[in-house]
Structure 1
C-alpha cells in the first residue's frame, strides 16, 4: 500500500474538519452524535499558538490525522491535567516543569483498517519533530496491561506516565496522560 503524510495549513484543516472528526469517531468508538460539536471544537483549535496538523492519505482518501498545539492554562485539557495532578497529590516540581512547557498532542488517529502499517508512528514523529516545547503530552484510553497499538507506539517513542486512570467528565473510560521529552 502507498501512503503519503502531508502537513495541513490551518485553513485546510478547518475545511477538512468534518472528515477528520469522522476518523476520530471511528477510531475512538465514539457516538456519531458528537460530530458537529467536535467539528466546531477542532476548528477553534487552529487559532491556538503552535498549531500543527498532518494527515495520512491513501488511494481511498484520508486515513489518519494528528494535530496539536502549545499547552496553555486557558484550555479545557490543561485544566483537566492540573485537576488530575491535584487529585493525585501533585503537581510535583517535575510535573510543574512539564505543565509549564508542553506541546499538546490533541489527537492522533488512524482508521482501524489501516492500523499496523507504521502510520501512527509517522504522524507522531512528523508532528513532534520541531514542536516548540520541551515536552509533548497526550492522553489515551487505559487498557489492561497497556496491550494495544497506541500504548506500544507511545512507549516505543519514549513516552512516560504523567497521570494514570484520569476520568474526563464526558467519557466513562479512564485515560492515561503520557509525556515525552522533546525532541523524541
Structure 2
C-alpha cells in the first residue's frame, strides 16, 4: 500500500473536485448535503495565488487530498487570524510579518481506512516543498489531548501553536491554528 503522491494542475483539481471533496467529507464525517457547496468553494480556491494541490492515489483510487495557497490580507481566513491574535493581546511584530507571508494549508484529508500510514506526511512534504512563503499555517479542530492522527502529523512536522480554542465566525467548534517555518525541517 504505497501511494503515489502527485501534484494536480488547476484544471485537474477543478475537474476532479467532486471526487476530492468526497475524500474530505468521508475523512471529516460530514453530511453529504454540503458536497455541492464545498465543490464550488474548492474550485474558487484554485484561483488563489500560489495555489498548489496534491493527491494520494492507490490503485487508481484517490485516498488523500491536500491543497493550499498564499495567504492574503483580502481573504476571510486572514481576517479571522488577525481577530484571533487581537483577542489574545497581539499581534506582535513577528506575528504581523508572518500573517503577511504565509502559505495557508487549506485542506489535508486522508480516507479513514488509510489514515495513520504516512500518507498525510508525504502529501504535506510535497505540498510545502516549493512554497515561497516563510511559514505555513493551518487550522484543525481541537481534540482532547490532541489525540488524533492530524495533531500527531502536524506536531511531527514542527507545527506549533499560533492560536488555541479559537472559534471562526460561523462555526461553533474550537480550532487550533498551527504554524511552522518553511521549508519543513522534519524528514519523511
TM-score range for the pair, normalised by the shorter chain length: over 0.9
Match of 1:101 in 2: 101
1:57-83 CA-to-partner distances (Å, cap 9, x unmatched) read 112610000000000011111111111
Match of 2:135 in 1: 135
1:84-123 CA-to-partner distances (Å, cap 9, x unmatched) read 1112221111211210100000000000100111000000
Change (3 A) 1:31 1:168: farther
SS at match of 2:171: coil
SS at match of 1:179: strand
1:25-84 CA-to-partner distances (Å, cap 9, x unmatched) read 111122211111111110011111100000001126100000000000111111111111
TM-score, L = length of structure 1: 0.96
Match of 2:21 in 1: 21
TM-score, L = length of structure 2: 0.94
Gaps of 5+ in 2: none
Match of 1:151 in 2: 151
SS at match of 2:16: helix
Number of aligned residue pairs: 184
Map residues 1-184 of structure 1 onto 2, 5 A cutoff: 1-59=1-59, 61-184=61-184
Aligned alpha-carbon RMSD (Å): 1.1
User: Does structure 1 retain, via aligned residues, the 8 Å contact 2:161–2:178?
Assistant: yes
SS at match of 2:15: helix
Gaps of 5+ in 1: none
